[in-house]
Amino acid sequence: MILKISATLSILTVLLAAYAKHAMPPAVWDAHVTIMTDYVNSIISPTSSPASSSPPPKENLSSSPSKYDLCPSELAAYTGADPDLPILLSVGGYIFDVSAGAKFYGPSGPYKIFAGCACTRALSIGSMDPEDRNDNLEGVSKEAVEGQVKFYTDKYEKVGTLKKDC
Ligand code: HEM
C-alpha cells in the first residue's frame, strides 16, 4: 500500500514537472489527472470498484479469436460510440479488444483518439499527435513496437489481425 502510494506520488511529480515545462498539452494533463485520481481511489477504497464506469458485458469473443480481422476503414467503427460494438484498436498488425479499458479509450476517455485506429506509430513513440495515428514505422524501433504489442497482449484480448490491401 505504502509502495503504491509512493509510486503514485512519483508519477504525479513527473506529470507536474512535464506540465510545468509545457511538455504536456493541457488536455493530456487533464486526462492523466483523471487517471491518477481513479488510481488513488482504487488504492484507498479497493472495494469501491469503478463498476459504474465499466462497459456493459460484451459478447464472449474468446471462441472466435479472428472474429475481427478488419480493414482500417472497418476498424474505424469500433470507437465505443456504438455501445453495441466493442472498442478495438490495432497495434503491430494485431487487433485488440480494449473495451475493458473504456475509461481510457471510450468516447470520453483521454485516449479516445486511439480507438478504432491502427496506431502502432503513435503508441510506439508515445505521441498524441493525430498525424502519428498510423502504422508508418519509419524511425520507430522494433523493440518499441514489440513492447506495445506485449503490453496490449498482456492486458487485453487479441481478437484479430489488421487486413491490408483493402
Ligand atoms: C508525462 C507523460 C505521461 C504520463 C506520466 C502518463 C501516465 C499514465 C498513467 C499513470 C496511465 C494509467 C496506467 C494504468 O492505470 O494502468 C496512463 C495510461 C495510458 N497512457 Fe499515459 N502518460 C503520459 C503520456 C502519454 C502519452 C504522450 C501517450 C501517447 C501515446 C500516452 C498513452 C497512454 C495510453 C494509451 C494509456 C492507457 C493504457 C492502457 O490501456 O492501460 N500517455 N498514462
Sequential DSSP letters for 25-76 = -HHHHHHHHHHHHHHHHHHH-TTS--GGGSPPPPP--TT-TTTT-B-HHHHT
Q: Give the C-alpha distances (Å, rounded to integers) separating 28 from 32, 48, 53.
A: 6, 26, 20
pLDDT surpasses 70 at 61 = no
Confidence (pLDDT) at 16: 52
Joined grid coordinates for residue 5: 502510494
In percent, the amount of the chain with pLDDT more than 90 equals 58
Confidence (pLDDT) at 165: 85
Residue 11 alpha carbon, nearest atom of ligand 1: 5
Confidence (pLDDT) at 93: 97
pLDDT band at 18 (very low <50, low <70, confident <90, very high): low
Closest CA to 159 of 68, 63, 59: 68
Q: Is 104 in the pocket of ligand 1 (CB under 6 A)?
A: yes
Closest CA to 79 of 89, 71, 90: 89
Contact 87, 108 (CB under 8 A): no
In percent, the amount of the chain with pLDDT more than 70 equals 61
Joined grid coordinates for residue 114: 486511439
* Mean pLDDT calculated for residue range 2-13: 53
Q: Which residue has the higher pLDDT, 139 or 31?
A: 139
* Mean pLDDT calculated for residue range 28-39: 50
Q: Is 18 in the pocket of ligand 1 (CB under 6 A)?
A: yes
Q: Is 17 in the pocket of ligand 1 (CB under 6 A)?
A: no
Question: Domain spans of the chain?
Answer: 2-49, 55-161
For residue 22, the one-letter residue type is: H
pLDDT band at 159 (very low <50, low <70, confident <90, very high): very high
Q: pLDDT tens digits for 126-154?
A: 999 999 999 999 999 999 999 999 999 99
The domain 55-161 having CATH identifier 3.10.120.10: the answer here is: yes
- When mean pLDDT is compared across 46-55, 100-109, 132-141, the lowest value belongs to 46-55
pLDDT surpasses 90 at 62 = no
Q: pLDDT tens digits for 86-104?
A: 999 999 999 999 999 999 9
Q: Is 43 in the pocket of ligand 1 (CB under 6 A)?
A: no
- When mean pLDDT is compared across 6-10, 28-32, 86-90, the lowest value belongs to 28-32
**Distance between CA atoms of 156 and 21, rounded to whole angstroms?**
33
Contact 90, 120 (CB under 8 A): yes
66-101 b/e (C-beta count within 10 Å ≥ 16 → b): eebebebebbeebbbeeeebbbbbbbbebbbbbbbb
